[in-house]
Chains A and B, each alone.
Chain A
Amino acid sequence: MMNYLKRYYILYLMCLPAMVFYIIFKYIPMYGVVIAFKDYNIFEGMTASEWVGLKVFKEVFSQPFFWQAIKNTLILNLLTLLVSFPLTILLSLMLNEVRAPKFKKFAQSLLYLPYFISWVVVAGLVTNLFSLNTGSVNMLLSKLGIGPVSFLIEEKWWIFTYIVSQVWKNLGWGTIIYLAALAGVDETLYEAAYMDGATKLQRIWHITLPSIKNTIVVMFILQISKMMAIGLDAPLLLQNDKVINVAEVISTYVYKVGLVRVEYSLATAIGLFQAIVNITLLFIANTLTKAVGEKGVF
């Protein structure tokens, strides 16, 4: 034992910075969720505040805006998925059919670009493009005799704009996983099909798609399991007072309750509720992916 330690203590030392980080910034905050069961008092601090059981949760569930935020989260996530999921697969299939390596590479590198742009910039680009009086989109519409649409202020159009920006930012990047799966498809199958006189579309439909079916199913289950989780950046940056009824999602609501209104217990309870739903969905998703014969996430 002493020998083992003498040889390997350096490896344990190497783990130390990471462990300190995880304890301070991950596990202490995890313990911090106890304030969801307390009446947090800034002057008494986390430990001295009074236990109140599930009172805070009752308060959360009685707030109409909480349910509104959940509904908005689900609507935005579901609509984004509905648009982006098929488009991502379609674009992957299209890229996969490109036989000129230079064109493919060129297209791919440009398609990945938006993924690396910050949401602040994306929101800036979106307000620039969709602005009522000077934006390119409304200019185009007015040439077609339609016009002007308040993309950022009218509720249904705001949802549209939100989805467009999500799809614009993530579409290209999303193809990576499918392209990797497509790279593994057996080439001889195509040759055989070609000999049999199958057209390009028939080949895609009967060979390409079935061979990435598992990837598609797993990605879909994973996406569905993330329905209650929503990034804070996009909705927070794009929203304004006029669309708040459709644009307030769980993450932005937690931020406002906790850090703007300084109701720590309430915000923590909402966050905890969301985290529990998320992890439950993930467990279900994991079981499902294993059921379709894939490796699962854990």
Chain B
Amino acid sequence: MKDRGFTILNYTLISIVVLICLYPFLNVVSTSFSSNQAILAGNVSFFPVEPQLGAYRQIIIKIAIWKSMAISVIITLGGTIISLFITTCAAYALSKEKLKGREVITGIILFTMYFNGGIVPLFLVVKQLHLLDTLWSLVLPHAMNAFNFIVMRTFFRELPESLEEAAAIDGCNEWMLLLKIVLPLSKPIMVTIGLFYAVELWNNYFNSMMYITNPDLFPLQMRLRQIIFVDALGQNADSLVTMVMPEALKAATIVISTLPILIVYPWLQKHVAKGVMTGAVKG
């Protein structure tokens, strides 16, 4: 009987924690659909009050937001492809025990997990390469991540040796082996690592703060930051004052920019949690 009480208490507490986790999202969605008066009076909590679409109507005509959305999509897709390519090649080659110099090359990669030059020297390199104010600056300086490399190498190491022997008999070289045999077997790890990179690229705003000064090239997070924190100080009081409360508009912008993450989320949490475990256990 005692255990029963424990179980009920446990489920209740977990439900409360889950609710706390979700509440900020519910609240921001509700705010984005609520009327000025309701927001000002502080009446909005779980559900929209006096529902309206004003904030979204305003966003639809804000071209800057859509431009930034497009830029974020481009750098997320492009960056993920570049990162996956570099990481896969290196992880595959370095998963081969027989490759001479493997330890040295791996060491060069892993050392960067513990020491780096800091943001100023990196900034100077990016500047020297004339990448400032280009979309490359948002993709290349962090194109490969040592942690993702470890996770992927672990996966490749566990593939059966016999694959390789069979391929060698068929006269496959290493490149064809990777493309035709290993990659089709590696879909789960590709999805996991791809999602790691994609989320990082989508969510990152600091790189654009460092390297991008041209507002036409602002990715979504940077634009969002501007709308939430700069406009709030009245430095950009353009058309916002008219019909819609800035609060609702901010909330709607948050909703719009989080939506892509929510759409891929079911996938994300399934794959990524597994990937983290492989990395943490075998790293």
Contact = CB atoms under 8 A, between A and B. Distances in A.
Contact of B120 (A31, A254, A275, A282): A254
Interface in A203-240: 232-233, 236-237
Given A21-B86, A95-B14, A135-B42, A33 B121 contact: yes
B117 A128 contact: no
Interface in B149-170: 149
B42 A133 contact: yes
Nearest to A203: B3
A103 B210 CA distance: 43
Interface stretch (A60-68, A71-79, A114-122, A155-163): A114-122
Given A14-B89, A98-B10, A118-B205, A275 B118 contact: yes
Interface in A120-139: 120-121, 123-129, 133-136, 138-139
A143 B127 CA distance: 54
Given A18-B89, A237-B229, A124 B28 contact: yes
B229 A134 contact: no
A124 B120 contact: no
A98 B143 CA distance: 40
Contact of B224 (A29, A109, A120): A120
A110 B23 CA distance: 11
B254 A124 contact: yes
A11 interface: yes
Nearest to A264: B120
A118 B220 CA distance: 11
A10 B116 contact: no
B237 interface: no
Contacts of B10: 94, 97-98
A91 interface: yes
B174 A8 contact: yes
Contact of A30 (B105, B115, B225, B268): B115
Given A107-B14, A116-B265, A254-B120, A17 B24 contact: no
Given A121-B258, A139-B45, A114 B21 contact: yes
Contacts of B105: 15, 19
B89 A172 contact: no
A113 interface: yes
B28 A128 contact: yes
Given A10-B173, A22-B109, A120-B228, A254 B45 contact: no
A125 B25 contact: yes
Nearest to A282: B114
Interface string A148-180: 000000000000000000001001100011001
Residue with the greatest number of chain B CB neighbours at <10 A, chosen from A15, A94, A176:
A15
B276 interface: yes
Contact of B117 (A32, A112, A118, A129): A32
Contact of A259 (B89, B123, B178): B123
Contacts of B28: 124-125, 128
Nearest to A140: B45
A29 B123 CA distance: 8
Nearest to B108: A22
A267 interface: yes
**Majority SS of interface residues in chain B?**
helix
B193 interface: no
Contacts of A58: none
A199 interface: yes
A176 B93 contact: no
Which of B121, B204, B261, B280 has the most chain A CB atoms closer than 10 A to its own CB? B121
B20 A168 contact: yes
A83 interface: no
Given A118-B202, A264-B120, A180 B99 contact: no
Interface in B202-226: 202-206, 210, 221, 224-225
A8 B21 contact: no
A144 interface: no
A109 B141 CA distance: 32
Given A28-B125, A135-B42, A272-B118, A94 B93 contact: no
Given A18-B89, A124-B228, A233-B206, A25 B119 contact: no
A136 B89 contact: no
A82 interface: no
B42 A138 contact: yes
B258 to A, nearest CB: 5
Contact of B118 (A24, A98, A171, A268): A268
A258 B121 CA distance: 10
Nearest to B233: A240
B90 A33 contact: no
7 contacts: A15-B94, A21-B140, A30-B117, A35-B120, A112-B273, A180-B280, A279-B114
For the complex of A and B, list the 9 residue pairs with the smallest distance between their C-beta atoms, beginning with the closest: A32-B121, A271-B118, A29-B117, A118-B203, A18-B90, A29-B121, A14-B89, A14-B93, A11-B93
Given A14-B178, A199-B2, 10 more contacts: A18-B149, A21-B140, A21-B143, A21-B144, A94-B13, A97-B7, A125-B28, A128-B27, A254-B119, A268-B117
